[in-house]
């Protein structure tokens, strides 16, 4: 009988504990400067975007920073209000095999970053191969490229690809960013690489963008991919601050790219 009353007591206690309301106060941290910087070998594509961090649960857009002094290797990047970006003068082109130093002066604080603009490997041509249906892939043409890499190891590549949407005539890229290094491909000799999971019909246009990246940016994109796995619910990676190559207490990145773009129309 005593055990019976004890059991009833613990059941009542458990239910009352479940109903108790707990309020957790979460203090907002002081805003931190967030840097998004890219310097590339494409004309007029280099920029720096500055904003302030905000509460993870806040719905509003981040606050833009428009009053900083920004330069790269002593070249001024002036704020353009039409693009909300800091940009160099028209005609600016980054040069491969060059080290670039970013300098930001904001509210009497100095933020810096250094990145080498690594040369991209050579992409000579694209070609197609007919493939029968396999697994979840329908029958169609796969796409491959012929390349040659004479760079010393280890060099890194950031790759995105997709196709032209025939209905909208807009470029449509796959969501995942692909990374690899030249320890995974032949060096100092020609090679052929079939782009995985590609199937196209005659008349469709395949798009490919290759970007060289240094080790810092390689690690940044890899971590970004791990936080955006396209897996919903509890299997998604919890958000954390990404690695940064910005010194001085800021978040974000300063990337340098040698960019190669290809469009291949399937015959």
* Domain-wise residue ranges, the chain: 33-117, 122-239+258-265
Confidence class for position 164, pLDDT limits 50, 70, 90: confident
Read off the pLDDT of residues 59-105 as tens digits, 9 standing for 90 and up: 678 899 999 999 999 999 999 999 999 999 999 999 999 999 999 99
What integer best gives the mean pLDDT of the chain? 87
- Banded model confidence at residue 240, pLDDT cuts 50, 70, 90: low
Note if the pTM is more than 0.75: yes
For domain 122-239+258-265, give its CATH number from 2.60.40, 1.10.357, 2.40.50, 1.20.1300.
2.60.40
Q: Which has the higher per-residue pLDDT, 262 or 24?
A: 262
Of 9-23, 154-168, 187-201, 250-264, where does mean pLDDT reach its minimum?
Answer: 9-23
**pLDDT of 119-156, one tens digit each?**
999 999 999 999 999 999 999 999 999 999 999 999 99
Q: Please give the structure tokens belonging to residue 262.
A: 């290809």
**CA-based diameter of the chain, in Å?**
90
């Amino acid at each position: 009988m005593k055990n019976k009353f004890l059991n009833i007591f613990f059941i009542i206690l458990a239910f009352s504990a479940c109903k108790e309301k707990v309020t957790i106060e979460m203090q907002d941290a002081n805003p931190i400067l967030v840097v998004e910087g890219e310097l590339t070998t494409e004309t007029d594509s280099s920029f720096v975007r500055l904003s302030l961090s905000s509460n993870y649960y806040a719905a509003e857009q981040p606050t833009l920073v428009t009053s900083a002094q920004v330069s790269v290797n002593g070249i001024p990047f002036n704020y353009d209000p039409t693009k909300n970006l800091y940009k160099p003068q028209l005609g600016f082109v980054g040069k491969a095999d060059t080290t670039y130093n970013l300098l930001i002066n904001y509210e009497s604080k100095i933020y810096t970053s250094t990145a080498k603009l690594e040369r991209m490997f050579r992409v000579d041509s694209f070609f197609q191969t007919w493939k029968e249906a396999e697994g979840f892939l329908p029958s169609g043409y796969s796409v491959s490229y012929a390349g040659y890499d004479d760079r010393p190891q280890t060099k890194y590549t950031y790759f995105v690809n997709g196709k032209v949407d025939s209905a909208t005539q807009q470029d449509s890229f796959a969501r995942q960013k692909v990374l690899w290094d030249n320890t995974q491909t032949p060096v100092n000799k020609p090679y052929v690489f079939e782009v995985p999971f590609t199937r196209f019909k005659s008349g469709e246009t395949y798009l490919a963008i290759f970007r060289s990246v240094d080790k810092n940016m390689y690690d940044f994109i890899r971590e970004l991919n791990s936080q955006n796995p396209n897996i919903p619910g509890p299997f998604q990676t919890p958000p954390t601050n990404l690695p940064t190559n910005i010194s001085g207490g800021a978040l974000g990145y300063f990337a340098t790219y040698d960019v190669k773009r290809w469009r291949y129309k399937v015959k």
